[in-house]
Amino acid sequence: MKKKVILAMMSLFMLGSTLIGCGNSQNTASKDRSLEQVKSKGEFVVGLDDTFAPMGFRDEKGEIVGLDIDLAKEVGKRMGVKVVFKPVEWDGIIMSLNNGDIDVIWNGLSITEKRKEQIGFSKPYINDRQVVMVQANSSIKSKKDLAGKVVAIQMGSTSEDAIKSEPEVMKTFKEIKKYGNYAEALMDLKVGRVDAIVIDEIVGRYYANKKVGTYKFLQDNFGEQPMGVGVRKADTSFREELDKTLDKMKADGTTAKLSQKWFGKDLFIK
């Protein structure tokens, strides 16, 4: 009898060991290898809207430049990998990330609750506001004056989310006109096809400074949002490495220097 009991206990022990071994194998298989894969590939691909000045856009020579371009290049250099920039339609950029067509969204990407449901984010690095931009001679003084007016936004942008968060204001607009990028919207504002644009402040002020006296901004705005680098939710190790590298760049003054280059002051969150 004792012999049978001992044999039964040994069988149970061996079965338990096998199950534990299988569990460990599954854990190992599911372990995040995103950083390892980036290093092995020797590059990461940045998805962006290449008209989104001054974060990422094309200069007179057709080269992609901007604050986020400089940041990504420096991060890649410190990680020992190349950075490839891939223009993507903004309205579908989150799908491109989750499908694996790109590795990050690094293009003045506002961190919102809606986006956090779909993707992960680095630590926020700049705060931005959604402002209202009009012609310099416009009679529009506040959000109330947008009643009966044509208001432009970029499709898939946080500007769209911002105006939807104030439905009592939005319902007074004559029309919401959606554009593939802000450059097209600004052209229509300049010639009067739209009355106002709701736009990221850093982008709006960049364009306004290039054409002094053409545009103005209302004191009213549609709220403030932080910007971060968008990554796939599963890519934990890659995101952590991005955060560590950006923290080091803040500590040694690199981010401040780049912000001075593009904005004339340090806008980075301390």
Predicted local distance difference test score (pLDDT) of residue 6: 46
Contacts of 9 (CB under 8 A, 6+ apart): none
Predicted local distance difference test score (pLDDT) of residue 30: 55
Q: 128 phi and psi, to 5 degrees?
A: -135, 155
CA distance 65 to 176: 30
Predicted local distance difference test score (pLDDT) of residue 15: 46
Most distant pair of Cα atoms in the chain: their distance = 100
Percent of the chain with pLDDT over 90: 73
What residue type is 105 in one-letter code?
I
Cα 48 to chain centroid distance, Å, stands at 9
Homologous superfamily of the 34-125+228-263 domain (CATH): Periplasmic binding protein-like II (3.40.190.10)
pLDDT per position as a tens digit, 14-64: 444 444 444 443 443 457 999 999 999 999 999 999 988 899 999 999 999
- Arithmetic mean of pLDDT, 245-267: 94
Please tell me what DSSP assigns to residue 136: T
Tokens of 5: 């009991």
34-125+228-263 and 129-225: identical CATH topology: yes
Cα–Cα nearest to 97, from 225, 268, 238, 200: 238
- Arithmetic mean of pLDDT, 211-227: 92
Reply yes or no on whether the pLDDT at 213 is more than 50.
yes
Q: State the burial class of residue 112 (Cβ atoms within 10 Å of its Cβ: 0-12, 13-18, 19+).
A: middle
Q: State the burial class of residue 32 (Cβ atoms within 10 Å of its Cβ: 0-12, 13-18, 19+).
A: middle
**Domain regions of the chain by residue span:** 34-125+228-263, 129-225
Strand 230-231 with 196-200, pairing: unpaired
CATH (one of 3.20.20.70, 3.40.190.10, 3.90.1150.10, 3.30.360.10) for 129-225? 3.40.190.10
CB 170 within 8 A of CB 132: no
- Arithmetic mean of pLDDT, 191-218: 91
Reply yes or no on whether the pLDDT at 143 is more than 80.
yes
